[in-house]
Structure 1
Amino acid sequence: MEIEIRRAEVADAEAGAWCQLKCWQEAYAELLDPDRLAERTADLDLRIERWTSRLEEGVLRWVAINPDPAAPVQDQVIGFASPGPTRDEDAPTPLELYAIYVRAKWWGSGLAHRLMDVAIGKEAASLWVLAGNERAKAFYRRYGFVEDGAPIDEPFFGVPEIRMVRPAQEAVG
C-alpha cells in the first residue's frame, strides 16, 4: 500500500506531534544528552498545541500517513516536512527547509526523498542541522546541500547547528 503524503490539517496535530517527538527520540538518541532529550520530548500536550497553532496560522507542513489504517495515533503520521520563508537575516536563499523527519522504521524506504521533493522540489534552499548529525548531513548532501559557515548554538537542544545551502537544482529529463 502506497504511503500518502498530503498537506497537514489541524486534525493531524496530535499525530504530527507524536511523530515529531518520536523522530527526535530516534534520530537524536546518540547525539544529545539523554536527560536533555527526555526533557525536550516529554511534553506531548505542548507539542500538540504548537502543531495546532502553527497549522491554524497557515504554516505549511506535509505529512506522510501510515498506510496501516489501524495504526494507533502515535503511529499515524510517520514523517513530515515543513518549508517556508527563510528566518535568517543573512539569508542565502528565500526558502528554508524548517524540518524534515521520518520515523526510524521507515528510514531507507524512499519516504524522506518523497517528502523532500514535495517540500522544496528543485528550488534553492537553506536549512539548519545539528552539527554532529552526520547521518542527516550526508542525506542533505545527496540533494546538493553544502555547509556554508560556522556553527551557531541551538538553544532548544543545547548543541551547535550548522547551516547548509543549495542552489536551485536542474530538472532531469
Structure 2
Amino acid sequence: MRPLSGRFRIKQAAAEELLPAARVMARAWRESFPFSDEVFDRQDQLVGASARRWDEANRRGGYFWVVVDSQAEVEDERLVGLAHSRVSDDADAPTPLELHLFYLLDVAKGSGIADRLLEMAIGDAPAHLWVLEGNQRAIGFYERHGFAADGGRRRLPDDLGARSNIRMVRGTTEQA
C-alpha cells in the first residue's frame, strides 16, 4: 500500500455532490465488476434516481461520505469514492449497522484512503455488508478489517450473470 500523500481527502457529501457521487458508483461498477455493457449502460441511466434516493436519505439524517482527489484536473473527476452506512432493513440482519455503499475508483485504490473511508463510514462498530462473490480484492480488504463471510447469500438478477452477493459480518458474538 502506498502511503497517503494528501492527494485524497474524505468529507461529508453536500447535497449537490450526491449526483456526482452516483456517477462515481456507476464508473466504479465499470472498473470493478465483470458485467455486460448493457448492465453498465443501465447503471448509468439509474444515476439520477440513485442521487434522488440518497438526497432523501440525507434529508432524514443519513450521512454520505465522498473521497475528493485534489489532483483531478477536470471537475467531473474530482470525486473518486463514496461510502454510506445505515440501519439495516434486512429482516435477518446480524448487526443493526450495514455498510450499504462503498465504492472507490481505480485511481484511488492502493493509496490507503479506503481504510480511512471505512473508518469514517462505520468506525470499529459491529457491522455487515454485501459483496459480490468472487470479488477477491474487496473480500480481502474487508477481511483485513475484521469481516468474515457468515453464509448469507443473495442471488443477483439474471442479467447480472447468475452471480450472488455474499454477506460479511464483523463484531457479532458468534465471531468472538
Fold shared per TM-score above 0.5: yes
Match of 1:64 in 2: 67
Moved more, 147-156 or 18-27: 147-156
- Quick one: percent identity of the two aligned structures? 32
- Answer whether contact 2:25 2:103 (CA < 8 A) is retained: yes
Return 4-13 or 111-120, whichever deviates more: 4-13
Q: Does structure 2 retain, via aligned residues, the 8 Å contact 1:102–1:111?
A: no
Deviations 1:13-51 (A, max 9, x none): 2221221111111111xx223322232224443343333
Is 1:112 paired with 2:117? Answer: no
How many residue pairs are counted as aligned between the two chains? Answer: 165
Match of 2:150 in 1: 148
Give the equivalent residue in structure 2 for 1:161. 165
Gaps of 5+ in 2: 1-5
Q: Which runs of 4+ in 1 moved over 6 A?
A: none
CA RMSD of aligned residues (A): 2.1
Extract unaligned runs of 5+ from structure 1.
169-173
Give me the TM-score of the superposition, normalised by structure 2: 0.83
Query: Structure 1, residues 98-135: CA drift from partner, whole Å, max 9, x if none?
Result: 01111111110001101011111111110001112121
Deviation, 1:160, is 1.0
Q: Could you tell me whether the CA contact under 8 Å between 1:40 and 1:157 is conserved in 2?
A: no
Q: Distance in 2 between matches of 1:58 and 1:155?
A: 30
Q: Counterpart of 1:11? A: 16
Q: Distance in 2 between matches of 1:157 and 1:65?
A: 32
Matched, 1:99 2:104: no
CA shift digits 1:56-102 (9 cap, x unpaired): 333211111121375322x1211111111122211211111001111
Q: Deviations over 1:132-165 (max 9, x none)?
A: 2121111111111111114212349633111000
- The one-letter code matched in structure 1 to 2:167 is R
2:156 and 2:60 mapped to 1: Cα distance?
Answer: 24
Amino acid at match of 1:46: A
1:134 aligns with 2:136: yes
Specify the code of the residue in structure 2 equivalent to 1:161: N
Q: 2:37 aligns with which of 34, 38, 41?
A: 34
1: CA distance, partners of 2:127 / 2:158? 23
Q: What is the TM-score normalised by the length of structure 1?
A: 0.84
Give 3-state SS (helix, strand or coil) of 1:68's partner: coil
Q: 1:157 to 1:100 in 2, by over 3 A?
A: farther
Using the alignment, how far apart are the partners of 2:25 and 2:38 within structure 1?
A: 18
